[in-house]
Amino acid sequence: MYKKKIFLLIALLLLLTVLSMIFLYLVSPKKNAHIIMKVANAHNGDAKFYNDYIVTEVQGKLVIYDMNGNQIKSFSDINANWIYCMPQENYIIYANSDCQIGLLKVDDNFNIISNRIIMTTANMQIDPTLIKVQNTYYLTATEIQGTANNADINAENGTYTLHLFKSTDLTNWSLVQDVITAKNNIEDVDIMYLNHKFYITFEKEVVDKGDSSLNVATIDTTQANKTTITELLPADCDHEPASVKATKNGFRVYYSCDKNYPGESYSGSQIFYSDYDLNWNPISIDCPVETETQKGILLYEVKDGDHGKQYFLYSQDYLNEDNMIIEEQ
């Protein structure tokens, strides 16, 4: 009888444990990542959020989609390969393989208010970014001299120079400084200004679609633009940085990389984030982001929505189908 009571007590405790685990699972918040938009075979090389729209390029032309994947505007006369958006002032800045950087201003229905080329250079400039600090605009662009996107470890790479310019009228631009010059592919640039400092993040490739490091240049405007470059992640996989966000404790960097599928580049990439303190010391590194797409992600941008939701804009299977995807979490 005593042994039977002990057995029943153990069985009851096990049942209560299982029921508790089921209860905690049911009440705990779920990420529930799922695809909310898919544009099949988009074959676009860059894409950014513009409020509740997506600005992208299709076959080198600027195109606008809504969050349901409907194409609502196409600008057949605007050549664009790299894109950056400043929706708070209705600006879209773009660069193209014609060695031009252009600035488009649109109304709320994407009708053109103005469109003009603000820079024409002898060498191609890629990955423009635009930010406004008080009454001054700052623009970054990466100039390429020589071979672009070199994929051969034995070949000579072109020289990439990341420039920082400024203007008060968006027409007359002056060089503030060169942030970095290297015989590496310098790509996927983003810019942030916080507490009198510019933070410019970028990828530094060994070769195209090969291993690359993720870096940040800190420019302190209180110390005569003293510039410090910090390596955030080493060149141990193909890092493709997408978005940098300020957090309560510092910064969060979102990127795609092939760390779980070494050597597969875009085909093996998944989404991760890393957290840093205000001095860019690591807090947590390579934290995976749950996605419906298991691999083959080239991340373009991350957008924060209402009620804690996030939206991830990326290319699915970039080297083949190249579907443009938005996932919601």
| Pair type for strands 250-257 and 240-246 | antiparallel
DSSP annotation of 265 = G
Whether the per-residue pLDDT at 91 is higher than 50: the answer is yes
| Pair type for strands 71-79 and 82-86 | unpaired
pLDDT of the residue at 63: 98
Return the HEC string of 77-112: EEECCEEEEEHHHCEEEEEECCCEEEEEEECCCCCE
pLDDT-above-90 percentage for the chain: 85
Q: What is the CA radius of gyration of the chain?
A: 23
pLDDT of the residue at 135: 96
Backbone angles phi, psi at 154, to 5 degrees: -95, -5
DSSP-H helix ranges across 88-217: none
Averaged pLDDT of the chain: 92
Whether the per-residue pLDDT at 98 is higher than 60: the answer is yes
Residue 58 falls in which region: left (phi positive, over 0), alpha (psi -120 to 50) or beta: beta
Query: How far is 35 from 38, CA to CA, in rounded Å?
Result: 7
Whether the per-residue pLDDT at 80 is higher than 80: the answer is yes
Q: Could you report the per-residue pLDDT of 233-282, keeping only the tens digit for each?
A: 999 999 999 999 999 999 999 999 999 999 999 999 999 999 999 999 99
CA 83, chain centre distance (Å): 11
Query: How far is 232 from 276, CA to CA, in rounded Å?
Result: 9
Stretch 292-304: mean pLDDT, rounded?
97
Stretch 7-36: mean pLDDT, rounded?
56
Whether the per-residue pLDDT at 24 is higher than 90: the answer is no
Residue ranges per domain, the chain?
32-328
DSSP annotation of 43 = -
Whether the per-residue pLDDT at 27 is higher than 50: the answer is no
Whether the per-residue pLDDT at 153 is higher than 90: the answer is no
Would you say 243 and 251 are in contact if contact means Cβ atoms under 8 Å apart?
no
Label residue 148 by pLDDT band (50, 70, 90). confident
Q: Which amino acid is at 127?
A: D
For 32-328, CATH number out of 2.130.10.30, 3.30.930.10, 1.20.210.10, 2.120.10.10 equals 2.120.10.10
Closest C-alpha to 163, from 220, 125, 214: 125
Query: How far is 264 from 95, CA to CA, in rounded Å?
Result: 28
Whether the per-residue pLDDT at 1 is higher than 70: the answer is no
Closest C-alpha to 205, from 239, 174, 228, 173: 239
Q: What stretch of H or E contains 212?
A: strand 212-220
Stretch 130-153: mean pLDDT, rounded?
93
pLDDT of the residue at 11: 55
Would you say 184 and 204 are in contact if contact means Cβ atoms under 8 Å apart?
yes
Helix/strand/coil for 11: helix
Q: Could you report the per-residue pLDDT of 38-68, keeping only the tens digit for each?
A: 999 999 999 999 999 999 999 999 999 999 9
Query: How far is 275 from 287, CA to CA, in rounded Å?
Result: 9
Query: How far is 307 from 295, CA to CA, in rounded Å?
Result: 27
DSSP annotation of 222 = G
As given in the structure block, the two tokens for residue 276 are 């840093």
Burial 274-290 (b: 16+ CB within 10 A, else e): bebeeebeeeeeeeebe
pLDDT of the residue at 3: 53
Among the residue ranges 5-14, 203-212, 238-247, 300-309, the one predicted with the least confidence is: 5-14
Stretch 312-319: mean pLDDT, rounded?
97
Whether the per-residue pLDDT at 18 is higher than 70: the answer is no
